Each structure stands twice: as C-alpha cells, then as structure tokens.
Structure 1
Amino acid sequence: MKLPLFPKNETYINIILTIFSIFLLISIIIRIPTDRANLSVSVFYNDDSRVLFYTGNEDISGDVQLVIPMEGVKEDSKEFLEKVNGRYVGNLEFYGDQGFVKKFYDETHYDKIVKVHYVKPEELSKYDDYTLFKRLWRSVFERSINVIVLPRADITYKAYDEFAKFFQISQEIPAPDSTNWNSHIYGILLGIFVSLQMPIAILGFLLYSKYWLYISVMSIIGTIAVFFSSKNKFTQMVNFFLLGVLTNFSLYSSPYLNDLDLYRGVKISLVALPIVVAAKIILEIIKEKKISKTYIALFSVVGGLAIVYMLLRSGNYGYVTEFEEKIRIMLENIFIIRPRLKELLFLPMFLLSDVTENKYWKNILLFFGSIGVVSIFNSFCHMKAPMFTVVYREVVTVLVAMAIYAIVLIIKDLILVWTGKK
C-alpha cells in the first residue's frame, strides 16, 4: 500500500490543531506581561551629550551613556569593548552599523545592547506632527524599540507630547530584553507539529544541532505541510497561524528580541509554497492536455511577477508605494494596528478558490491565495514585535479578509440573481 505524503483525515488534523491551540494559547497569555514590560522606552534629542553617534573617530566622554555605532565603523570588538566601558551600545535600525554591532555581540556577548530608532533632521519634511507620532508609535509597539533619538524641532516636540500620552517614557535607558525562555522545547514541538502533518519532515531533526538552521528548514517545510494536509480553507489558515506562533516561540530568546539575530530564510519561506503550488498546477494542466501553452506561459509570467514583487516589498527595507503607504495609515487609524495588505488582498482569493467552479480561475485564485496564507506565518517571524501585537494584527486581518470574502460572495450572488442565472 502506497502511503500518501500528507494525511487524508480532517478529524486527525483537527485533533492536532485543538491540542496545539490550547497549549499555545496558554503560552501566549503567560508571555503577555514580559512583552508589555519590553515596551518601556526612553527618548533623547540628538544634541544630548548622553548620546554619541560613533563612527570610530570620536572620544567617548564621561557624559556619554549610549554609544551608537554608525555605518562604516572599523574597530576590533575587544578594543570597542574597552572604549564602551559598561555603557549602553545602540543597535540603530536603518542607519546604524548593525553588522558591526552583531559581530561585537557574537564576539563579546555584551549584555547592554539596546534597540535604537533615529529620525534624521532631513526626514522631517516628509511628516506632520501626527504622522511622525505614528512612526514613533509603530517603532515601539511593533518593534519594541528601547531608545528613540529625535532632532529638535517644533514638529518633534508635538509628536513627542502625543507619544507620551500612550507610553510611559523612562528617564533612564531601559535595560535590554534578557528573556530566556525554554525556546528549544518549542523548537521540538515545532518539529513534532510539522512531522505529524508530513511525516517525512521528521528528517529535519537531523539538523537540530544547528538550531537556527533546523528552525528555518522545519518551518519552511511546515508551510508546505500545513497547506496540503487539509482541504478545509479555514483549517488551513488556523494551521498557518499555529505554525507561525510555534516558530516565534522557538526563537524567543534575548538575541532575537534585541535584533542581534534574525529568523533566517524569510524570503525562501515566502516563495517556497507559492512555487510548489504553481508547479503542481502547471503539472496538472500539462497532464490534462486541455489548455494552450499560452495560458501556461501567461500563468507563469504573472505568478513570477507576483513573487518578485512580494520579495521586493518584504522585510524592513521592502519597497512600498506611496499609495500603499496611505492605505496603511488609513487602516492603522481604523484598527490601531494595521492589518497586512497582502493578506487583505490574497486571503479572500484563497477562500474564493474553494467556491469557484471554473478550474482555471480556481487555480489562479489558489496560487495567489497561497501567498496570503504564507503571509500569516511570516508575520510571526518578526521577532521584535510583542506577541500580543502580532496575534491582534493577524486576528483582525483574517476577520477583515473574511468580511471581504463574504461581500464578494454576496455581490456574486446578486449578479447571478440579476442576470437570471440563479
């Protein structure tokens, strides 16, 4: 008897999801106080003598409390450690030399490295006081920034005043997150979760000695396993949600929370499933021999462009159009934490693929829908964000996507009634 690669029993999958859902819900609740504590933030102005933007040429005076390595620092880690002499070191996102800071941490395990967000003076022209406030708000609520550095200007004073209404601003630099959960237990559970839905994935445990690689490989395989292990679209979305939570908890430790280490393989995780789905669709089409090569070529080109665009806009440095940024701000104003646009676009397609009779449209919707469900998983790979922030965002996103799906179905039925086809 030939054993299938994935289980064919929905009850079996539902039992797995129920058990893991209960366990992970308890874990999330237990984690909330820790995540809330990590929202502590201090704010400095860029002319404050306690803050030093360090290029390697400056003397570190006695007033300096925070040393922020900028791009291009050429210095030995031990030499820098002596210069720092117990001060905080800033890991500056976007503009700092994060490579140097990570190397410094790897070689010294210095435990006073904090996450820093800096607004450059030349950036102020792009903001008003409200949009600048939203930028500061996101830096803390979505990325758990410890220190914000601002230029002095009327707009920053107003943004700061609004910001202070939402966060308890510390007069001292907050200590970096020193969380040390038993993340490896969750790593083992991740492997079990994936292997229960795709038994061959158990071979991934062979990589366990190189833990980061094991987590990346197991979770990427997991995106394929949880997609094909169930036919029920709502079950699949829950499955991706749990896979993301497990991956997050598997890496929940100080280096990841302080941006000194990253989930590796983000871009691979984004494209692996869509590529597999596309390949499966194309092979089925070729096997049927009922469709032109033009359709296959068109599907391949459109799918390829979709994947390229998704890669371009992934990550902190991803490309975002001005129109999309306006939509993001609007959604953020409505929901506090904005839903993910990719999911609002692609999850309804994923759901619609289940009720579409035309096989070719069904395939197209399923392909783009796979991008949406992978995005659910990907949300949890942003380790700096508090878990309750990510959970809230994903719950809201899925609910809004389901509402869009329902509206599309209603419109479809109304059209069918109007045209006399129903």
Structure 2
Amino acid sequence: MSLFYIPWRVSLDFNYNDAVIITEKAVDAVPSKQLIYVEDLENVSNLESSVILVDLRDDWHRLEEILALQIPMILTGVSPYTVSELASILDNHFAYTGYMEFDERGHYVLDVLRARENKSLVFRVHNLKKKEYPNYDVDKAVTRYLRAVRERSIDALLFLTPDNDFDYDELVSQVYGVLDGMGFASTELVSPRTGSSRFALLASLFVFVLLLSVSPLLAAVVTALFVLFPTVGLPAAAVFGEFAIYRRVSSLKTGVIKGLLLFFSFSIFLGIAINASMVGASYQNGLELFRGVKISLVALPFWLFVTGFGRSVSKKVSRGDILVVLLAGLVAVYYILRSGNFSFVLDVERTMRDYLDNVLIVRPRFKELLAYPLLAVMIHFSFDLKGKLGPIIAAGGSLVTVSIVNTFCHATVPLWTGLLRSAYGLIFGTVLSLLIIAIIKKY
C-alpha cells in the first residue's frame, strides 16, 4: 500500500501545499490578496484580488449581497441562521469560504462548513491575532507562520495590522521571501478537493492483517468499523494496532538496531494506513478530525505501566512503589498536557522547537528522542527488565510507536513532513540509544 500511497500523497501535498498571503495593507514586493471588511466594500473599486472578512454577528444581513460578488470570504462569529440554513445558502452560491484556525468565535462557522454538501469549497486561514503581537518578535512570528504552512499545509496566511509598533512590513516580507524560496508561495487560493477510496481499502486490508496476529474476531470488528464508521474505526485501529505492533515485535529476539527498525517500520505502516483513510475533502480541509487522539496516545503506555507495576509490586506496597506511581503520574500529566493544539510547552522547549524548525525544516518530536533510548533498553534486556523502574521504562519506550502513529493521524499535515519528522526521530533516537546501551554494557 505504501508504495502506491506515498508517491500519490506527496504529489497531492505539493499541489496543495502552497499558501496565499492576505494583508490588510499592501507591502512592497509582496504579491498578496487584500483583506476587505464588509463596511469598506463601497470604498473598494476593484475586488478581483480581495478576500472579504465577514463577521456574521454584524454582517449577516448583507450576506446575500456579499455572496453575489463571488469572491472568497472568511467567516467568523455567529449569525441568526441555523447551521443547516447557512450551509445551504453557501452551497447554493458555490461560495468559496474560509475559516480561521484557533478562532475563539469560530465554532459555529466550523459547524456550518461541516454541514455543507460541497466541502471542497473551503479553505483554512492562519493568522496572528492583534492581541498576540506583543508576545512575538519578528523572527518568532515568521517561524509561526512558516510552521503553519510546512506542518499543517495551511491555505492562506492572514496578516492583520498590529496595534503596537511591531514591524508589520518586515514580517510579511520575510514570510513571503522564505515561502517563495521554498516554492510554497501562491498568488491564488487553492485548497484540497480530491481523494481516492482505493487507498482506504488497501489500508483496511493492512489493519486486518496486523490485528489478525492478535485475534481474528478483533481484526474483523475493527476493520469493519474502520471501513464503515471511520470516526470510531480510525482510533480503534490506532489503539489496537499499536498493541499488536508492540506485542509482535517484543516477542522477537533481535538486536537493538534491528528491533528499533522493526518498531519504526510497523509504526510507519500503521500511521500511513490511517492517513490513507483521511484523504477526502472533509479531512483535508480540516473539517473532520481524527477522533481519539488522547486515548491513542495513552492506552498502550498506560497498559504497559499498569501490568508491569502489578507484576513488580510485592503483596505489601512499599514507599518505593508509591514513589514510582507518583513519578509515573507526574510524567503522565505532563505528557497529556503537552498533546493537542493548545498544549502546555515550557519556554525553553518552545525556543528549542523554533531553532530546530529553522535548521531542520521539520523538527523531530522530543518525546521520540526520549523514548528511543528507553525502547532500546527494553530490547537489550529482551523486554524482561526487572526492578521498580521497569514499568516506567516499558511505558516510555512504547511512545516510539504511539508518537509515530500519531504523527500521521493529522490529515492536513503534508505526508513528507510526517515522514521526515519520523526519520529524524529514528536517526537521532538511534544514536542516543546506542550511547545508552554502550554505557549499560560498560557498567
């Protein structure tokens, strides 16, 4: 499946990985769309290269007038229309409609766009809110905009003018310069409008074969859900697939490098199988998401810790046992807080992320850099590590599989980004692993 899907998906990504720049004011030498507010429509003579920002709370009564212009518009806020009514209005006018990422007032808009019949007429917008400018300098803001394109294949970058003395022109110029140099700058709004069901069928076959090693009944049930009810089937395939990979590979007698490669390969295949089932316009335009991210991140490590701790603890719980549980709890809380779009990240880690993004194009996931050495330790001891820390090491090592699979559970992420990120994790993680194993062998 991967031999067919990867070339097709990479081609799709490069066709739709361009981003158009939308500005409130023109910037020299930067081709951009002009952002127009509804109240300023009468003062604009040429709307050909414009995008209208429509606040549905204030502008809903002019919606028919705006739609008649047949130019792209970005929606925010809530209108008196029901979700289905507004979705029908947009479809009837074939309106090319955008929504802003992380918009606090955008939940209604997302519901409307999900209810549309034609979900390909949707584009995604990333912007730095006016209130956020004081928290950024130009370099950090540039990195944020570039990350939106590289890591989430955003369709449009919106630059609102700041209320402070932030160098707006320099920000826009730098972002455009880097995007243009990478071939990611566009002058037209284009969003993904295609998909292929044949990849979903191949993906379901891989999931079935993978889970067959655990249980034929489980394989049949999860595969059926995977095909017929993807909202439930995709996370089920991720969770049970991760268990199947860990169970199968951990039963093999291998060296450290071969073991790491096996975990990496099977995890990549499972991640790609899930990714291949999310190629429709709804997923590619961010309207439908992979549900169950949290459970797919914690199920395997939690199970390994609980079962391992249960085997290691004596009949009488000691202080050491309590300390292990407390340590595992703190690590688990931090791990969960760091996952998701609004994750908790330490300033030092954010700085390191930005640096690696600029140097490597795509940074490896830090959790993988920590997890690979732990997994290597488990492989070195044939997954029979004794002692109080054994359950923590086993759970931490399983994050290699969990993290790799999770990388491909985000439909809007370009596939090349996920592959490169995972490859970096393998390379750097293996180097760290070999150093740790060398120390263990010596001492």
Write the mapping of 1:40-51 to structure 2, written as runs, cut at 5 A: 40-46=18-24, 48-49=35-36, 50-51=50-51
1:334 Cα shift?
2.9
Q: Is the 8 A contact 1:102 1:261 kept in 2?
A: no
Number of the residue aligned with 2:196: 180
Q: What pairs with 1:137-286 in structure 2 (closer than 5 Å)?
A: 137-152=146-161, 153-163=168-178, 164-199=180-215, 200-202=217-219, 203-207=221-225, 208-231=227-250, 232=254, 233-234=259-260, 235-286=262-313
- CA distance change for structure 1 residues 103 and 71 in 2, over 3 Å: closer, same or farther? same
Larger displacement relative to structure 2 (89-98 or 387-396): 89-98
User: Quick one: distance in 1 between partners of 2:212 and 2:373?
Assistant: 28
Contact 1:52–1:64 under 8 Å retained in 2: no
Partner of 2:13: 35
Following superposition, the deviation at residue 392 of structure 1 comes to 1.0
Question: Normalized against structure 1, the TM-score is what?
Answer: 0.84
Alignment-mate amino acid for residue 108 of structure 1: R
- 1:63-84, Cα deviation, whole Å (9 max, x unpaired): 6733222244553232465368
Are residue 391 (structure 1) and residue 419 (structure 2) matched?
A: yes
Aligned 8 A contact 2:300 2:395 in 1: no
Deviation readout 1:171-226 (Å, 9 max, x if unpaired):
22214433334343034224313323212422324534323212221221111111
CA contact (8 A) 2:114 2:282 kept: no
CA RMSD of aligned residues (A): 2.5
> Are 1:105 and 2:113 an aligned pair?
yes
SS in 1 for 2:53: strand
User: Which residue identity lines up with residue 428 of structure 2 in the other structure?
Assistant: V
Partner of 1:4: none
Moved more, 214-223 or 352-361: 352-361
State the shift of 1:413 in Å: 5.2
Secondary structure in 2 aligned to 1:178?
Answer: coil
Question: Match of 1:160, as an amino acid?
Answer: V
> Residue 136 in 1 paired to residue 155 in 2?
no
For the 8 Å contact 1:128–1:155, the answer to whether it is kept is: no
Question: Matches of 2:156 and 2:392 in 1, distance apart?
Answer: 45
Structure 1 residue runs of 5 or longer lacking an equivalent are 1-22, 417-422
Q: SS at the partner of 1:182?
A: helix
Aligned to 1:320: 345
Quick one: distance in 1 between partners of 2:380 and 2:191? 52
Q: Deviations over 1:27-59 (max 9, x none)?
A: 212322111101122111136223333331213
Return 368-377 or 357-366, whichever deviates more.
357-366
- Residue identity over aligned pairs, in percent, reads 24
1:109: Cα distance to partner?
1.6
1:95 aligns with 2:90: no
1:323 maps to amino acid: V
The CA deviation string for residues 340-398 of structure 1, in whole angstroms up to 9 with x for no partner, is 01111122111123335861234331121122321111111111111111011101111
Distance 2:342 2:78 in 1: 19
| Alpha-carbon distance in structure 1 between the residues aligned to 2:169 and 2:412 | 30
Q: Is 2:238–2:405's contact at 8 Å kept on the other side of the alignment? A: no
Task: Determine the C-alpha separation between the residues in 2 that align with 1:410 and 1:334.
Answer: 29
Measure, in 1, the Cα distance between the counterparts of 2:231 and 2:69.
39
CA distance in 2, matches of 1:54, 1:191: 44
1:267 Cα deviation after fit: 0.3
**Partner Cα separation in structure 2 for residue 96 and residue 183 of structure 1:** 35
Instruction: Name whichever of 299-308 and 213-222 sits farther off.
Output: 299-308
Does the 8 A contact of 1:133 with 1:162 survive in 2? no
Q: State the number of aligned residues.
A: 391
Alpha-carbon distance in 1 for matches of 2:201, 2:125: 31
